[in-house]
Chains A and B, each alone.
Chain A
Amino acid sequence: MEALKEPGQGVIARFSNLKGLTIPVAPHKGCGSSGGSGKSSCGSSAGSGDLPSEIWEKVKNHPCYSEEAHHHYARMHVAVAPACNIQCNYCNRKYDCANESRPGVVSERLTPEQAAKKVLAVASEIPQMTVLGIAGPGDPLANPDKTFQTFDFVFKAAPDIKLCLSTNGLALPDYVERIKDFKVDHVTITINMVDPEVGARIYPWVFFRHKRYTGKDAAKLLTERQLEGLEMLTQAGILCKVNSVMIPGINDDHLVEVNKAVKSRGAFLHNIMPLISSPEHGTVFGLSGQRGPSAQELKALQDKCEGEMNMMRHCRQCRADAVGLLGEDRGAEFTTERIESMEVEYDAAKRRSYRDSVEIEREVRKAAREQELLTLAGENSDRKILVAVATKGGGKVNEHFGHAKEFQIYELSVAGSKFVGHRRVDLYCQGGYGEEDALAGVIRAINDCVAVFVAKIGGCPKEELRKAGIEPVDQYAYGYIETATISYYRSYLERLKNGELVDIERGDAMIRQGAFIELSAPAGQAA
């Protein structure tokens, strides 16, 4: 808390004290090299056994770097960095909506002091919060003083919180030294192209060293700086994730090349995300009618890149001020007004004991998964199916169908149960309002799945799902997802064999666009 009491002190002075603390870390080589087909990626469900131990230590509590961790641990973003140095055709800085979840959107901007207090307040109330990220709403490195001052306060007050940042990379080579000094060991760079021809269709301009560049010049400058920054970071042993926005017709095929380029420069994880594009966002792409990919188009590209590198598929494209587990946003509970009035007591011991209990739970879950996987030994089928799961965390089937804001998608095969994505939906249960439309929306979102796993489901939606060819499964309520889905897959194969089931190819599914409609939203924040 001392850091908070003396915000006036220069960052540089204290900054120099930290230099000796930096622990040298051997450069990593990523973990894709050992991955064969059927092996889950780091970004999906790699566990302690699949990664070099020093890398596992870095990612095991980081929900954005480990799919396995994202069931248990939460992150928060603080919106201290409003300025940006580039313009992207999928971003509109004038748009803000409290019910909208996508990067670049934020309701309140914070000073570094306010941000640090918010981090401690959230850490005290949400023990599973392990990561503080700065992701905008502009670019953290276009606001270096605000970004590093926030890191400095948090680093001093709560050293157990991991620091990470997400940047467009234009300014990155200039700040690698400072990133190292603050022990920021996770950096995400958004790289949408490595070819200026493609880039010119995504970025209208960049601002660099007092000059605005446009067209291919802008894209060429951006890609050179991004790749240079990536190389510098990986050489320094900092884990790098690359985010790419998949824009059909513009960079969808090209992202395979991007994947190779970033892999060869040591990136740890590649996160290909669907374009979010809606006319009401007022973005260039939204207004031009540029569509986003379908669920199967996205999955096909992710599958294609997976042989090259570890893919992240659990990204929720969260807001620059999101708080909580991925897929939930508790930001509205921590308004500046409330935080200002809070007496924050930072209890490191309580947080440690929470993490210890999570680690025990993870071991139990892992053992259960391995036990269940044994039952598939001897099964010989090339049939792969997708199933949707309603969960609110902990790696369990523990959400009611009507309360689910998203479904997690698992691909089942004789190799086991693999997380391959998630689908956001509008709440089915909204107190007798718009239920028919909501149900149709849920069915569209999971239309490529053969079953949906829930803790509980009403008779009416059950019937409708069956009609749509999606089997509602509630017999595994509160069980572990992997155990439940593997067991289901085994019985699925049996039912196919004895003719109880007819094998039908499922169609494609839609990726939901636009704002969430949530009736419980605080007054004044409705969409």
Chain B
Amino acid sequence: MSYKIVASQCTGCSACEPECPNKAISEKDGIFLIDPKKCTECIGFFDEPQCVAVCPVDHTCIIDKSLPRYQK
């Protein structure tokens, strides 16, 4: 799986972008997106997903259940 950003919730504050260890987050028209091909759910890097931990709006960076779980 990968994390995804709920666009309607995103404030575009950019706090998540530099925190991502995989450089999976980018901006498009003021809204931030996570590239599911790059996201590792921060497994192997940190105890908690960094985008979730720094996001100012709860339930905005969420797990994308349509994708299989990330395998190391």
Contact = CB atoms under 8 A, between A and B. Distances in A.
User: How big is chain A's contact interface, by range?
Assistant: 10 to 19
A337 to B, nearest CB: 16
Nearest to A95: B11
Interface stretch (B33-41, B42-50, B63-71): B42-50
A196 interface: no
A444 interface: no
B14 interface: yes
Contacts of B14: 82-83, 143
B57 A93 contact: yes
A94 B11 contact: yes
Nearest to B18: A83
A5 interface: no
Contact of B15 (A84, A94, A210): A84
A210 B20 CA distance: 10
Given A82-B14, A84-B13, A212 B53 contact: yes
B49 to A, nearest CB: 10
B48 A138 contact: no
Interface string A397-428: 00000000000000000000000000000000
A87 B56 contact: yes
A137 B11 CA distance: 11
Main secondary structure of the interface of A (DSSP, over half): loop
Interface in A45-104: 82-85, 87, 93-94
Contact size range, B: 10 to 19
Interface in B1-31: 9, 11-15, 18-19
Interface string A132-150: 0000011000110000000
Interface in A202-236: 207, 210-212
B62 interface: no
A109 interface: yes
A83 B13 contact: yes
A93 B47 contact: no
Nearest to B56: A93
A211 B12 CA distance: 21
Contacts of B18: 83
A97 to B, nearest CB: 14
Nearest to B30: A109
Nearest to A207: B54
A142 B12 CA distance: 14
Contacts of A143: 14
Interface of A: 82-85, 87, 93-94, 109, 137-138, 142-143, 207, 210-212
Given A82-B13, A210-B46, 13 more contacts: A82-B12, A84-B13, A85-B54, A93-B11, A93-B13, A93-B56, A94-B9, A207-B53, A210-B19, A210-B50, A211-B48, A211-B53, A212-B53
Counting from the closest, the 4 A-B pairs by CB-CB distance are A83-B15, A212-B53, A82-B13, A93-B56
